[in-house]
Structure 1
Amino acid sequence: MSVTRPARRPVVLLAYAAFVLVGLSAGVGGVLLPAQIDDYGVDKATIGITFFTFSAGFLLAGITTGGLIDRLGTRAALAVGGGAFVLASLYTALRPPFLALVAVQVVAGYGIGVLESVLNAHLSELTGATTLLNRLHAFFGVGALLAPALAAWMLRALPWTLVWLVLALAGLPLVVGFLLAYPKRRGPDDGGPTADGAPAVSGPAVGGPPPDRVGVTVRPGNGGLLVAALRQPAVVLAAVFLAVYVGLEISVGNWGFSLLVGGYDQSEVLAGYAVSGYWLGLTAGRFLISPLATRAGLTPAATSAGCLVGVTVSAVLAWAVPVAAVAGVALVLLGFFLGPLFPTAMAMVPRLTASRLVPTAIGVLNGVSVIGGAVFPWLAGAIAQGVGVWTLLPFAVVLAVGQLAIWWRLARQVAAADRAGRVAAG
């Protein structure tokens, strides 16, 4: 079933609203942690177990989303993801015992992971996917920017559990919207390219699977959709790229404040502003860079290459000039150039694999990215603890250069696939 042009607007707006909610749920966590620690009488290390259980649920969502869409369809998959998030939030709002709080994070992570993977997969096959996905992830940034202030305001007079009740209630109309607006099965919206610059992929015949991309054969019988996706070298390479990307993004976001205060003797207020500027730069980059690049006639691959160079130069600048003001500006620029990389990589997935494997491949990318988001920040913190917080900047430079190297190989595979598609079409 194709998404017709008149139905496209509510589909896209619902996706944006869902990512604002996802951003809100991520942004309130840090503000609620002190209240949760006091309420349950645990220490920071113990409350940190919830991070790992959430990540486990998110990873599970990433590796199962493709099969979920294949069996249930887009509409039902979104309802499952949204429903899991709402139920987990409602249960958290009841102030469960601590072990139950830890366990329910698996459900919350699964719900968020399914929502992210399905919406990324669906928008990646609409015309203008690169711009749509950049805006999608920018709205996550909007939610993450608003969340701390809203949560802090609520905690002045209300218990922390009511913050989760508000998030649960906000999720209910989204689930209803998914059921009303989204198609049962996915398909390109108007026969145009499925991603900026990518050839069109026709929708499936009634009752039949989508056709394979040129040069990619789907054999789901040999281990299922997940195994078939993992057999595609470009999919694995893209997953590694996003693991490094998320590792860099979160490492700088988590430890940038400590660097400015401990390494540059900057006041906590100014350091806080600088880190907020980093996240604001990330959000602005997602709103601005893709539309400007499209007007300039740049391909998504060329845009990403330019952003990767900008990321590397910004990290080197912050490291090479040991001045707090320069480091603060460099962090904002680093966030700005990092912004488009994740959504643009997602938009290129339909050019890497067969149509039927796109949701599974995007789920893999999304799931693996959370591993990078856990491992690299932990490693950055461990190095800072043993050597000094100044190591964050050379650590960021190493990850930035690694991103460039991985993207160079990935872009070559995308170009080769596009050439094969043009030859076959000719």
Structure 2
Amino acid sequence: MTVARVPFRAPVVLAYTAFVLIGVSAGVGGVLLPAQIGDYGVDMATIGITFFTFSAGFMLSGATAGGLIERHGPRLTLAVGGGAFIAAALYTATRPPFWALLAVQIVAGYGGGLLESVLNAYLAKLPSATTLLNRLHAFFGVGALLGPLLAAWMLTALPWTAVWLVLALACVPLTIGFLLVYPRHDPPGDTAQAAPPGDQDAVPVAVPRGDGGAPAAELERTGLLTTVLRAPAVLLASVFLSVYVGLEVGVGNWGFSFLVTEHEEPDLVAGYIVSGYWLGLTAGRFLISPVATRLGLTATGMTYACLAGVTAASALIWAAPGGAVAGAGFVLLGFFLGPIFPTAMAVVPRLTSARLVPTAIGVLNGVSVIGGAALPWLAGAVAEGVGVWTLMPFALILALVQLAIWRLIETRMTPE
């Protein structure tokens, strides 16, 4: 296969930096909630409405990302996402009325979601996409770990609005960078084919593969989003990631209560274990993909191995006789969960055509927040009614569901 070398290091480094900021913005939220509740004089249920408005903006970004990339290219689409995030953050920093805080979260969710979708789509078209996307999401984990520390430190001397001002200012040079280093338009055709081993800087020559079986005339008539939503493989991948995010967030949200109630761990120890879960998730994204590549595992094979690890870790925590074993299980669970989301993004070019990849990734990204909201809520409702011990059987069931869905997805992939 003939390849053409292109300098893509600057866009990749900028993408990693952007995901650190996205992770920081996600990580500060929980630390700021008590200050926002006190400032606005609302209760926890009322401030929780911001989660839904943010998610609405995030889902909207997933639905529109592909069309924006198609018409305007990644450069301007990233600038729109960065601009929306900056505008929302700056307005939030002015301490708006509560109704306006709810509304501006739609803009913040749209801007952040657009950045995520476009950067995922861009890296998915590069060689060694699986490793690149795992690193990308690992840097999100780095930001999510740093965010609470930053917010807690700033709140010792400044109001909560100052944190949003810092986020807005940090996004300004990133947005300028998007305009300087990203291409105006995506290259035509399908660049999803794998590069030769060891050729990390080679981008394969485009090989058109057809728009998911849809003729060009039909694609123009129905539109990118409608065509993607009619693709069974993309819908299965969306459900897969929705279940994944539900499992990841559900364990992250309720793991502390599980450890304190079921294993009678002190609050401090339980907090450390939950932190170990998130550290394990970040480490898994940095480490597993390179090791799998050296062992000759494909992206699908690595995902099967990770899903098996998630299943085993969930069973280990459930059966653990003591807190130490359960703690080790939490770290292992995070470690094996880590690569699943970015690897699912990396195989999207094998589920549809190059022209539909950005739209498909936007749909996957947007739909994933449904599971991230609904399944943790369901886990909490079950725990409230039956007992928090149900968390790990719940996680085990979701792990098995992921295995079944991944098998269905694999049968619809083009060969690696």
TM range (shorter): over 0.9
- Cα distance in 2 for residues equivalent to 1:399 and 1:195: 34
Which amino acid in structure 2 is aligned with residue 24 of structure 1? V
Q: Which residue of 1 aligns with 2:415?
A: 418
Q: Which residue of 2 aligns with 1:72?
A: 72
Q: Which residue of 2 aligns with 1:302?
A: 301
Where do 1:111-126 residues align within 5 Å? 111-126=111-126
- Cα distance in 2 for residues equivalent to 1:289 and 1:188: 32
Q: Which residue of 2 aligns with 1:312?
A: 311
Q: Deviations over 1:77-97 (max 9, x none)?
A: 000001100110000000000
Q: Does 1:253 align with 2:252?
A: yes
- Cα distance in 1 for residues equivalent to 2:67 and 2:189: 22
Q: Which residue of 2 aligns with 1:381?
A: 380
Asked whether the equivalents of residues 190 and 354 of structure 2 are also in contact (C-alpha less than 8 Å), the reply is: no
Q: Deviations over 1:110-136 (max 9, x none)?
A: 001100000000000001100000000
Give the aligned length: 409
SS at match of 2:88: helix
Asked whether the equivalents of residues 222 and 228 of structure 1 are also in contact (C-alpha less than 8 Å), the reply is: no
SS at match of 1:158: coil
Residue 223 of structure 1, CA deviation: 2.3
- Cα distance in 1 for residues equivalent to 2:234 and 2:187: 20
Residue 194 of structure 1, CA deviation: 5.1
Asked whether the equivalents of residues 62 and 117 of structure 1 are also in contact (C-alpha less than 8 Å), the reply is: yes
- Cα distance in 2 for residues equivalent to 1:80 and 1:398: 40
SS at match of 1:157: coil
**Farther off after superposition, 163-172 or 313-322:** 313-322
Asked whether the equivalents of residues 188 and 201 of structure 1 are also in contact (C-alpha less than 8 Å), the reply is: no
Residue 189 of structure 1, CA deviation: 12
Q: Deviations over 1:211-255 (max 9, x none)?
A: 626856553233210110111111111011000000000000000
Q: Which residue of 2 aligns with 1:224?
A: 223
Asked whether the equivalents of residues 66 and 362 of structure 2 are also in contact (C-alpha less than 8 Å), the reply is: yes
Asked whether the equivalents of residues 127 and 190 of structure 1 are also in contact (C-alpha less than 8 Å), the reply is: no
SS at match of 2:7: helix
Q: Does 1:398 align with 2:397?
A: yes
- Cα distance in 2 for residues equivalent to 1:36 and 1:138: 29
Asked whether the equivalents of residues 191 and 354 of structure 2 are also in contact (C-alpha less than 8 Å), the reply is: no
How high is the TM-score relative to the length of structure 2?
A: 0.94
- Cα distance in 2 for residues equivalent to 1:86 and 1:189: 33
Q: Which residue of 2 aligns with 1:108?
A: 108
What is the root-mean-square deviation of aligned Cα atoms in Å? 2.1
Change (3 A) 1:186 1:169: same
Which amino acid in structure 2 is aligned with residue 342 of structure 1? F
Q: Which residue of 1 aligns with 2:200?
A: none
Residue 321 of structure 1, CA deviation: 2.0
Change (3 A) 1:402 1:256: same
Residue 21 of structure 1, CA deviation: 0.3
Q: Which residue of 2 aligns with 1:85?
A: 85
Q: Deviations over 1:30-85 (max 9, x none)?
A: 00000000000000000000000000000000011101111111100000001100
Change (3 A) 1:185 1:264: same
- Cα distance in 2 for residues equivalent to 1:192 and 1:76: 22
Where do 1:293-372 residues align within 5 Å? 293-372=292-371
Q: Deviations over 1:349-392 (max 9, x none)?
A: 00110111000000000001010100000101111111111111
How high is the TM-score relative to the length of structure 1?
A: 0.92
- Cα distance in 2 for residues equivalent to 1:288 and 1:4: 28
Change (3 A) 1:172 1:4: farther
Q: Which residue of 1 aligns with 2:175?
A: 175
Q: Which residue of 2 aligns with 1:32?
A: 32
Which amino acid in structure 2 is aligned with residue 45 of structure 1? A
- Cα distance in 2 for residues equivalent to 1:222 and 1:398: 41
Which amino acid in structure 1 is aligned with residue 408 of structure 2? R
- Cα distance in 1 for residues equivalent to 2:20 and 2:374: 26
